[in-house]
Structure 1
Amino acid sequence: MPITRDATEAVARSTGALRTRITDLLGVEHPIVQGGMQWVGRAPLAAAVSNAGGLGVLTALTQPTPQALAEEIARCRDLTDRPFGVNLTILPSITPPPYAKYRDVIIDAGVPVVETAGANPREHLRHLKDAGVTVIHKCTSVRHAVRAQAEGVDAVSVDGFECAGHPGEDDVPGLVLIPAAAARLDVPILAAGGIADARGLVAALALGADGVTMGTRFVATREAPVHDRVKEQIVRHGECDTELIFRSLRNTARVASNTVSREVVEILAGGGAFEDVRDLVAGARGRRVFEEGDLEAGVWTAGLCQGLIDDVPSVGDLLDRMVREAVALIAGRLPGLVAGDRSLT
């Protein structure tokens, strides 16, 4: 049963927007969150997502210093009067960034939502919660999600194996991971990984999530602060055009397939160590891809959902389309599939 635009709009007008525990928790119109992406989560994109009714997210460590983050938060506030968040990814390092200073900037600026990722957020959680910040923790397994709930986070983002960036080491796709997490958790859940359109949104809700987080889909929007050649490549790429690097190091990352990422896979598969690929995977090289549009300059993250992306819309058009079509699927097409409904005959 095809869904025409007229039918979609009629259903949307009659049923209203999608309201879930996530929209209530975050104070947003749509249950759609922009993922925190290195080099991409900047004010123009975050503000566009928030202005469109979702939750935009700045990426703290994209900014070179805590002061630079304070300036980016102020810049985002100039672009939107709606809620937005900040991603703070905490990773083990020989010379770690000043995480506490970044955290304090977020608190002092009155940012209402923080997405933590990487290590256990316990060290920062008390400070954030005492300041009234809503905390979402990104997880790639049920056990980590259960632990995050026990630590006191307000919601979890559960990333399936389809996601860009780090999918964990369990290789469990969202179709299994999301309902498995929903069966164990009481806090609201955001489904992430492989979601790029209304079908993914509706599927996530059916699996037990309260909303979705999207990364790659938002890279391919007009407001994303990346070179147009990157956006065009995402549109050209299919679902098979990614590589899993660092598998042998148990630090798996899903990135776009190019000559660099394929070389990294080959070196490590042949017994190489991280030192043998360090220069190939340097963050500065990945940044060049996004800023200069040289698709072979380094490795850059992309998820399997690029196989579902065939345009580069504005953020506003994307969210409007997703929600309108999701409402039509839920209220229009799906009820007609129930046995005994004579409308299908």
Structure 2
Amino acid sequence: MSALRTRFTETFGIEHPIVQGGMQWVGRAELVAAVAEAGALGCLTALTQPTPEALTAEIARTKEMTDRPFGVNLTILPTITPVPYDEYRQAIVESGIRIVETAGNLPTEHVEALRPRGVKIIHKCTSVRHALKAQSLGVDAVSIDGFECAGHPGEDDVPGLVLIPRAAEELSIPIIASGGFGDGRGLVAALALGADGINMGSRFMATVEAPIHDTVKQAIVEGTELDTELIFRQLRNTSRVASNAVSREVVEELRQGAGFQDVRHLVAGARGRTVYEEGDLDAGIWSVGQVQGLIHDVPTVRELVDRVVAEASDIISARLAGLVADPVTAG
């Protein structure tokens, strides 16, 4: 298999320019270790673990499965219960983790605390202006989320086809394209648009090693690009989730003027966790992106990564190379 070397693979010491970013309730040791073993960058989701001590144990469990590099995601969003970020950061550093993915608000405190300890930081954001701010803070790379993504796409509604090259025009650090990526075609497109790699979330959910119920994986396979809902639009906190009885109820309640407190019981994180653990697709809100329209099977992580890289390499060396006319014969 041909290697695809980019600024991202060189900077972070990863074999393939593919990232499995943090996903609440999903980014656990089984998946992350499999991604690392396949030569991509996997990220544990720190706040899936209830305490910093539990994160330390999960990092240790991952290291028992792989000796390859992996990262930890730290999401920075408003919470009802304050998060002891300093203790989570300490757990990361003391466990020897050297790559952290941040997301949400600006990662100022994380950069100031982690970079002096030799930790490289990838910040995930949804706009060029936020990416530029993160770059000015000293992050090592930016993961830029287009409107197609699962989770929080921001409020600008700019799809990746425009957002990625705009980011490439403005930034000097490596860029990971996120939102809508699930195969080799997407990887080639991202590289052509100026990115240095891709982030896949929903695609990694539909793998053998993903620690979620098989019913959820099959729902992703059967879903189309039309089977998502955008909730919290009226609250300026948009989130793309699977279309189900709960998400449709949230959309309708907010459309009729309800506030967050009116739907809080519907969107509780514990309900979403039940979906992943028990396979009841209508038990709560769960995240998936429009890329599910391109997901047609549940391979192992290695099969998926190998396929994406092989397909991308073939497109670059065969199909695209064949489109370039020989100047001699063309004349």
The two structures have a TM-score, normalised by structure 2, of 0.98
Quote the offset at 1:93 in angstroms: 2.9
Number of the residue aligned with 1:309: 295
Quote the offset at 1:272 in angstroms: 0.7
Instruction: Describe the SS at the equivalent of 1:58.
Output: strand
Number of the residue aligned with 2:18: 32
**Cα deviation digits, residues 46-100 of structure 1 (max 9, x gap):** 0000000001110000000000000000000000000000000011234321111
CA distance in 1, matches of 2:3, 2:176: 18
Quote the offset at 1:259 in angstroms: 0.6
Number of the residue aligned with 1:115: 101
CA distance in 2, matches of 1:174, 1:203: 10
**Aligned: 1:246 with 2:232:** yes
Q: 1:158 aligns with which of 139, 144, 162?
A: 144
Q: Spell out the pairing of 1:279-318 with structure 2 (5 A cutoff).
A: 279-318=265-304
The one-letter code of the counterpart of 2:32 is: A
Instruction: Describe the SS at the equivalent of 2:170.
Output: coil
| More displaced 10-residue stretch of structure 1: 117-126 or 292-301 | 117-126
Q: 2:181 aligns with which of 158, 182, 195?
A: 195
**Cα deviation digits, residues 218-269 of structure 1 (max 9, x gap):** 0000000000000000000000000000000000000000011000000001
1:190, 1:211 within 8 Å by CA — same for their partners in 2? yes
Number of the residue aligned with 1:18: 4
Quote the offset at 1:123 in angstroms: 1.1
Number of the residue aligned with 1:278: 264
CA distance in 1, matches of 2:328, 2:245: 54
Q: 1:129 aligns with which of 108, 112, 115?
A: 115
The one-letter code of the counterpart of 1:114 is: V
The one-letter code of the counterpart of 2:73 is: N
Number of the residue aligned with 1:139: 125
Q: Spell out the pairing of 1:74-89 with structure 2 (5 A cutoff).
A: 74-89=60-75
Give the gaps of 5 or more residues in structure 2.
none
The one-letter code of the counterpart of 1:304 is: Q
Instruction: Describe the SS at the equivalent of 1:222.
Output: coil
The one-letter code of the counterpart of 2:111 is: L
Quote the offset at 1:126 in angstroms: 1.6
| More displaced 10-residue stretch of structure 1: 64-73 or 122-131 | 122-131
Between the aligned residues of both structures, percent identity stands at 68
Quote the offset at 1:276 in angstroms: 1.0
**Aligned: 1:104 with 2:112:** no
Q: 1:95 aligns with which of 81, 95, 116?
A: 81
| More displaced 10-residue stretch of structure 1: 231-240 or 103-112 | 103-112
**How many residues are paired up?**
330
Q: 1:57 aligns with which of 43, 47, 67?
A: 43
CA distance in 2, matches of 1:130, 1:341: 52
Instruction: Describe the SS at the equivalent of 1:172.
Output: coil
Instruction: Describe the SS at the equivalent of 1:117.
Output: strand
CA distance in 1, matches of 2:150, 2:228: 9
Quote the offset at 1:119 in angstroms: 1.1
Give the gaps of 5 or more residues in structure 1.
1-11
CA distance in 2, matches of 1:205, 1:283: 35
CA distance in 1, matches of 2:151, 2:121: 21
**Cα deviation digits, residues 109-139 of structure 1 (max 9, x gap):** 1101000111111112121101100100001
CA distance in 2, matches of 1:339, 1:259: 53
